[in-house]
Amino acid sequence: MGHSPSGYPPLYVDFLYYFNVKQDYYECHEVLEELWLEEGRERFYQGLLQVAVGLYHFQNGNVGGALKMMRGALDKLSNYPDPVWMGIDLCQVKRRTKEYLEKLEQFQAKPFSFYAFEIQVTDEELRKRVEQRGR
C-alpha cells in the first residue's frame, strides 16, 4: 500500500518531515490520518497521530484536547514494547509524550509554554529520506 523500496510508506516519511523539520502538527495529522486509514487503522500510526494532534491542540491553547490526545497516544504506543519501531526511537517518543502529559496534568498549578520535540530517527535510510523530503 504505497510502500517505497526501503519499506517506509511515503506518507510516513512526510509525517516525520512535518513533525521534525516543519513542526507543522496540522499537516502531520493530515498525512498520517491518510496512512492510518490506508494501513487498516494501525495503532502505531494512530498513536503518533495523537501525539501530533496533542501538540497542535496545546500550541493553540486547548489544554483539554492536548491532554486527551496525549493520553490516547500513550495508550496506543504502549502496545509496542520494542525500543525501536519503524525506524524511530519509540522509547524516546513515549518518554517525551509522558513528560508532556505530566506537565499538562499540572498545567493549572504550573503553566508552561508550548515547546516542540523531535522524534529521533534511528534508521539511516529513513533519516536521509526525511532530509531529502525538504529539498
For residue 38 the three cell numbers come to 490506508
Q: Which of 2, 34, 9 is nearest to 87 (CA)?
A: 9
What span, in angstroms and rounded, lies between the C-alpha atoms of 122 and 5?
A: 18
Maximum alpha-carbon separation in the chain? 49
**pLDDT 10s digit of each residue in the chain, 135 long?**
334 446 899 999 999 999 999 999 999 999 999 999 998 899 999 999 999 999 999 999 999 999 999 999 999 999 998 999 999 999 999 999 999 999 999 999 999 999 999 999 999 999 999 999 877
Tell me if the pTM is above 0.85. yes
**Domain layout of the chain by residue ranges:** 10-129
Positive or negative, the Cα torsion across 40, 21, 58, 101? positive
CATH 1.10.3450.10 fits 10-129, yes or no: yes
Please report the DSSP string for 64-133 in residue order: HHHHHHHHHHHHHHTT--SSEETTEEHHHHHHHHHHHHHHHHTTTTS-------PPPB--HHHHHHHHHH
